[in-house]
Amino acid sequence: MKTAAKSDLYRKLPSVDDLLRETEIVALAAHEGHAAVADAARAVLTRLRTEISDGHLDSAAVDVAIAGLAGAVEHQLRKALSYSLRSVINATGVILHTNLGRAPLLSSALDHIRDTASTYSNLEFEVISGERGKRDVHVERLFQKLLNDSFAGEGTRAAPADVSTIVVNNNAAAVLLALNTLADGEEVIVSRGELVEIGGSFRIPDVISKSGAVLREVGTTNRTRIADYESAISQSTRLLLRVHRSNFQISGFTERPSLQELVSLSRKRGIPVVEDLGSGALFDLNSVGVSGEPGVIHSLRAGIDVVTYSGDKLLGGPQAGLLSGRRDLIARMRSNSLFRALRVDKLTYAALEATLLAYIKRDHEAIPVLRMMRASKDEIGKRAEIAAQKLASAALKVKIADGESVIGGGAAPSAVLPTRLLAVSCDDLSAEELAERLRASDPPVIARVEDGRVLLDLRTVFPDQDDVVVSALNRASRR
């Protein structure tokens, strides 16, 4: 196309001001505000100019575009004013999916957030005395009850009756705070088998160096004995750190000391032991058929001085990092100025308080991730069958197959739950294309692709979303 012709095409385009005077656009501006509509009009015209300059539009195409300008501006406006963060349907069967926001919140948490955050609150205010208060009191009392009560009735061991808990932004921050408080400028001993990287660039050696502590590695990748810890202890050792391996397993010729061995070494030498538990369940995982996964209470009972864990993994609450343990050590962390930098806001306290109350009421069904973990394979299979019957499209081939849901979020990597899957293929589409169309539907449906089929696990789909998944599949299979 010749340059001269291009300039003719540019001249056909209205100015922004002309465009804003058109009836449809005036109506749009009355509704959505002049500034936003003007931005959208400018963006649409700029895009058209670019297309002309790239030689993508001839004279007829420009006429068509001009006829559709009002529609294009409205479309652009909707896009600009829509949320980027939005709800999706998780049909992957991974319960704690970090990319999909980990734990969905329970409904009482949302009510409590609305009640306390849409007005003023007593976040740091003692209502009775009228004096300044502390934000951590709101959950401290609940953690006290959940963690200390679990020692009552134990009988065997003197309860560390004084477990206290503080909250920071996430578990990475909790580990950082513990290290900086207890071992700044001094040594922390960690097994070489636990120098892990958790997704999203949380690496134990890096966090240790950022905390100001000095890493003293002991043992080997596959085997570390208590004697390795013992012989590494020096004048400058301030901490023993145990890290949950979270997302990988070491099998075969392996060894690591038990919690009891670590605790007795720590007591003998007067050096505290901190455990980064990662997921940190507050309920008995055996009750959902997952064994060998230590919970918060298990570690505290074993005598670990401080455990750190996430709020939005197995706890099923908001993003947060929890530090629970010996009151004197937690008090030191609370008075560290890093604690102020890592503190959480009122939304987190509200969501956490509601989550903990559900535990105290033993209302495990109220907590979405617990409900999902407790759902039986039969229950999920029945929902899958009902969904399969509603799949009307002739192009779809549907089978219901045995499979496994994954707990995820750095619980034991082997922690899987038996499930029933909808295994779907479509005549005219590859499995990847079908999965892509599902992601493009509104709300997006996220599924797995395996062996040329799309696999949907209803364990992680809320039951009132089953029909949405069905219609997304029906629509996606249409030509």
Ligand X SMILES: *Cc1c(COP(=O)(O)O)cnc(C)c1O
What's the closest the beta carbon of residue 27 comes to ligand X, in angstroms?
47
What's the closest the beta carbon of residue 172 comes to ligand X, in angstroms?
4
Among candidate residues 417, 380, 414, the one with its CA nearest the CA of residue 400: 380
DSSP, collapsed to helix, strand or coil, labels residue 95 as strand
Rounded to whole angstroms, the Cα distance separating 253 from 367 reads 39
Binds ligand X by CB under 6 A, chosen from 108, 246, 266, 419 = 246
Site size toward ligand X, by CB under 6 A: 14
Instruction: Report the residue number, 143 or 202, with the smaller CB distance to ligand X.
Output: 202
Chain residues 121-180 in contact with ligand X, contact rule CB under 6 A: 170-172
Chain residues 170-229 in contact with ligand X, contact rule CB under 6 A: 170-172, 198, 202
What's the closest the beta carbon of residue 406 comes to ligand X, in angstroms?
14
Binds ligand X by CB under 6 A, chosen from 219, 316, 317, 321 = 321
Six token digits for residue 210: 């950022």
The residue nearest ligand X at its CB is: 278
Instruction: Report the residue number, 69 or 198, with the smaller CB distance to ligand X.
Output: 198
**Binding window for ligand X (CB under 6 A); candidates: 212-220, 229-237, 240-248, 351-359:** 240-248
Is residue 299 at the binding interface for ligand X, with CB under 6 A as the rule? no
Q: Could you tell me if 307 and 296 are in contact, meaning their C-beta atoms sit under 8 angstroms apart?
A: yes
CA 268 to chain centre: 39
What's the closest the beta carbon of residue 98 comes to ligand X, in angstroms?
7
What's the closest the beta carbon of residue 174 comes to ligand X, in angstroms?
8
Q: What mask, x for binding ligand X by CB under 6 A, covers residues 20 to 59?
A: ----------------------------------------
Is residue 310 at the binding interface for ligand X, with CB under 6 A as the rule? yes
Task: Give me the residues that bind ligand X (CB under 6 A), please.
Answer: 170-172, 198, 202, 243-244, 246, 276, 278-279, 310, 321, 410
